Chain A
């Protein structure tokens, strides 16, 4: 019997790798943002696993509260990034940064 916290902590570690790969491999900025969100929830899951370091007492509420704060801030950051991206797309008709496309910035 493996504790849930260990399994989801490991899943979080895998999600960080997947998100990081997407963030670096994609040039499309929306796909980068999506990958960054995957990376973020991986970090949250690892943090949530750390809330179970003393399984005999139960989950620690402090990491849970911090994660809820983090989830809201993550959405706010994504909203600002998307607003900027839409402006970039309208101005340049591209959804990637010039240096990623080999254009002069």
Chain B
């Protein structure tokens, strides 16, 4: 009973925050509501017993997406770019409500059926991880994860392709002016060591408990962004070889392990006796690549002349 009451409160907050984010009068207010909305989504995942997803949603959905949107608001304001106001459209609202009702009916009429819990549980012992989500990501459905890590690279190439010619070879993001005794500079010195600890722990814990390369990598990306926003660390040049090596380390390691598996019979197949070491190796490589790719995606293309 208490559980249902808590669920209802979370659902109410979720829907209210979504309405506020979409319908807020100002752009900035909408973005702030969206960050709050991301936190409520993460709590919803906790209630659904999906702790891995909750960690990813809190770090990416609320955290990095929020930074990205706030940065965009700043860019648009500086460019003086406006847009016509929202169209007041009651038929449109009714149509969307109708779609929600139909989807809700579909949720209610889902038949009870066993999912893939039994096959996953049966294959878990030789998969290299005792966290089923990590096993699915890096072993059973490794192809998805490999392609995802390559998608991140492709998107980064797309973002960098928007850099002006004169800025190519420069450092991504804008110059930050920070008051040395201000709150941001204080946080910039205080939080990174703590964040590093949490990020590395999440990666290490991912093979046994909720966590993993995505959650840990996102926390590390946030540490880097915070340090760079607080003026403690400078982003490397986009032509830096070390940076590029970090970006491709994960996919390259993943592909190498996949090819080794192909020689042993199946592409991306992990030998059960080596699986634990291979999963951890892929996790470390992926963490490096995911952390640098996500941070660079949020920083945007280089804009200052090199």
Which residues of A pack against B, CB within 8 Å? 1-2, 4-22, 24-31, 33-35, 37-38, 41-42, 44-46, 48-55, 57-69, 71-80, 82-90, 92-96, 100-101
Contacts and interface: CB of A to CB of B under 8 A. Distances in A.
- Please classify how large the interface on chain B is, using the bins under 10, 10 to 19, 20 to 34, 35 or more: 35 or more
A59 B50 contact: yes
Contact of B99 (A16, A50, A57): A16
B89 interface: yes
Contact of B117 (A13, A41, A54, A86): A54
Interface of B: 1, 3-4, 7-8, 11, 14-15, 18-19, 21-23, 27, 30-31, 34, 37-38, 41, 44-45, 47-50, 52-53, 56-57, 60-61, 64-65, 68-69, 71-73, 75-76, 79-87, 89, 92-93, 96-97, 99-101, 103-104, 106-108, 110-118, 120, 132-133, 135-137, 140-141, 144-145, 148, 151-152, 155, 158-159, 162, 212, 214, 290, 294, 297-298, 300-301
SS of B interface (majority): helix
A6 B108 contact: yes
A53 B115 contact: yes
Contacts of A59: 48-50, 117
Task: Tell which of A44, A71, A76 has the most Cβ of chain B within 10 Å.
Answer: A76
15 contacts: A13-B103, A17-B96, A24-B92, A25-B89, A30-B73, A31-B83, A68-B137, A75-B64, A78-B68, A82-B69, A84-B162, A85-B72, A86-B76, A89-B81, A95-B82
B87 A27 contact: yes
Given A4-B48, A61-B132, A95-B82, A37 B15 contact: no
Which are the 4 A-B pairs with shortest beta-carbon distances? Answer: A17-B100, A22-B22, A60-B115, A89-B81
A59 B100 CA distance: 24
Given A30-B69, A64-B53, A69-B137, A18 B80 contact: no
Contacts, number: 297
Contact of B68 (A24, A48, A69, A79): A79
A39 to B, nearest CB: 10
A15 B285 CA distance: 35
A77 B61 contact: no
Given A54-B117, A64-B50, A15 B92 contact: no
A9 B96 CA distance: 17
Given A68-B137, A79-B155, A7 B4 contact: yes
Nearest to A11: B11
Nearest to B147: A69
B107 A9 contact: yes
B114 A54 contact: yes
Given A20-B99, A54-B112, A94-B82, A25 B87 contact: yes
